[in-house]
Amino acid sequence: MVTAAQSPWQNPYVERLIGSIRRECLDHVIVWNERSLRQTLRSYFHYYGKSRTHLALAKDAPEPRAVHKPENGFIVEIPEVGGLHHRYQRRAA
């Protein structure tokens, strides 16, 4: 698909991804320099691909996760993207 210059509406997939990055990550952090930006984006992309749920995937992550039974232990909170987002997982007691 060829996109004309200065016409972002012609590539809705990229616009949707950029919007998600901005709304879910960059609007909530202070970026000090290029290194800080790269580290924040790397952390967000890791979260986006491994932990974030997606409606198109029946509310699962791109890398499917196992469903744990309550008998498997208590739920712990695992901060991601510098504490901006969290993942929840059962741990053995």
How many CA atoms does the CB half-sphere of 3 hold within 13 Å?
11
What contacts 77, CB < 8 A, 6 or more positions away? 86, 87, 88
CA pair distance 24, 42, nearest whole angstrom: 14
The residue type of 89 is: Q
Place of tokens 């997939």: 13
CA distance 82 to 80: 5
pLDDT at res. 6: 66
CA distance 79 to 72: 21
Over its length of 93 residues, how does the chain's per-residue pLDDT go in tens digits? 566 666 666 778 888 888 999 999 999 999 999 999 999 999 999 998 888 888 778 888 888 877 788 888 888 999 999 888 998 888 876
